[in-house]
Amino acid sequence: MLAAKIFLDRDLLRPDYIPDELPHRGPQILRLVKVLAPALKDARPSNIFIYGVPGTGKTAVTKYTLKRLNMEGEGKGISLKIAFVNCKHDDTDYRVLAELCEQIGGRIPFTGLSSAEVYRRFVKIANSSSGTIFVVLDEVDSLIKKAGDEVLYKLTRVNNQLKDTRISIIGITNDLKFTEYLDPRVRSSLGEEELVFPPYNASELEDILRDRSNRAFANLVLRPEVVKLCAALAAKDHGDARRALDLLRVSGELAERDGDISVAEEHVRKAQKEIERDRVVEVVRTMPLHSKLLILSLNAIQRRSPSGGTTGEIYEVYTQITKEFGVDALTQRRVGDLVNELDMLGIANARVVSKGRYGRTKVVSLSISYRNLQDATADDARMAAYVHK
């Protein structure tokens, strides 16, 4: 059978692809250009701190704007260097500094030096040229939470050690409360300028998707309701453009897999289920140990009584499981907090029920399927075995 061609260029829908146009981000791009443009006049741009919930275009806008600025600089014979680090991938002082060195032309061994030494090398390499170096620390909250703000502190002071070079820092975060973790001195120098990215609404997401889908899909393959539906669903999910694009891409992939000639609403519905399933599995898979043990407890209880268990019952099973895993149990109060966390993440469902004259009690059940739980624990043999118990 000759399968219909669904995609012209699927890569245009990938999250790391930067399109030539970024609809509805004009004001943010303008602001960023204004803050960073002094680099083209050989002055140091202010540091800037960018924040907004995930999928609001922070990374895309920053890369896009720096690329434009760099092109303009090249035209004028002005050298700009861009060192871009994703602190979620490189989340130690050493990795961040090593990555910065490499991006401005140094070579750092994977391990073996102290981070102080890597920092010295960074300063040395930076000093060997002139002009502006933009240091972009994307998802910088990951670094701070894991390693503290020492590197950030050093970087905000580094200009004192430089001669003909200037460093300007662009810090990006999804975590709006992140500045609370920072030393006030770091906060004020990083936040010389601040830029907020608001979530997209449904009609903005529609424009974004339409733009990107035009060249990604074959002609007339997308049914008219598809883009609208993907945009509406992602708008409910705090206006996340990444989610909207994922929905559209996965919908197309499902249509392709089924050998359908067009992408329709049913594909989007299926795509949403699939994405949600992956999200849940990933959330559970990366949870801390005690949350996982709590989930195992909920699972064990649920296999006996499908409506779930009271907090007392849960704690009893949980302490039993911690013994079997050879770890100390957390306090009942702490476990209560973890239950609330699971509830908020949509992994468990806690409800208060009336027990007649015995008063009210909280009953908690697991909201994820047995199959998802199996997938989420598959890479840990002991847990996987426990899921079946």
Chain residues that interact with ligand ADP, rule: CB under 6 A: 15, 18-19, 22-25, 52, 54-60, 208, 212, 241-242, 245
Binding partner at 171 among Mg ion, ligand ADP, none, C-beta below 5 to 8 Å by kind: none
**Minimum distance of ligand ADP from residue 25's CB (angstroms):** 4
Query: Rule CB under 5 A: which of 302-341 touch Mg ion?
Result: none
Edge-to-edge strands, sheet with 131-138:
80-86, 131-138, 165-173, 48-51, 193-196
Q: Which residue is nearest to ligand ADP (CB)?
A: 57
Contacting residue, 28, 47, 56, 59, with Mg ion by CB under 5 A: 59
- Which one, 245 or 281, has the nearer CB to ligand ADP? 245
**Minimum distance of ligand ADP from residue 157's CB (angstroms):** 27
Alpha carbon separation from 369 to 298, 308, 313, 348, 375 (Å, rounded): 12, 13, 21, 11, 10
**Minimum distance of Mg ion from residue 174's CB (angstroms):** 7
Q: Is 289 helix (H, G, I), strand (E, B) or coil?
A: helix
Nearest to 135 by CA among 145, 126, 144: 126
Binding partner at 19 among ligand ADP, Mg ion, none, C-beta below 5 to 8 Å by kind: ligand ADP
Binding partner at 95 among ligand ADP, Mg ion, none, C-beta below 5 to 8 Å by kind: none
Q: Report whether 161 contacts 125 (CB < 8 A).
A: no
- Which one, 54 or 131, has the nearer CB to ligand ADP? 54
**Minimum distance of ligand ADP from residue 213's CB (angstroms):** 11
Binding partner at 81 among Mg ion, ligand ADP, none, C-beta below 5 to 8 Å by kind: none
What's the CA gap between 95 and 108, in Å, rounded? 10
- Which one, 171 or 308, has the nearer CB to Mg ion? 171
Q: Report whether 241 contacts 200 (CB < 8 A).
A: yes
Alpha carbon separation from 272 to 54, 269, 370 (Å, rounded): 18, 5, 19
- Which one, 86 or 291, has the nearer CB to ligand ADP? 86
**Does 86 sit near Mg ion (CB under 5 A)?**
no
Q: Report whether 252 contacts 267 (CB < 8 A).
A: yes
What's the CA gap between 183 and 231, in Å, rounded? 39
**Minimum distance of ligand ADP from residue 71's CB (angstroms):** 19
**Minimum distance of ligand ADP from residue 36's CB (angstroms):** 17
- Which DSSP string corresponds to 158-216? GGGG-SSEEEEEEEEES-TTGGGGS-HHHHHHHTTEEEE-PPP-HHHHHHHHHHHHHHH
Interaction site with Mg ion (CB under 5 A): 59
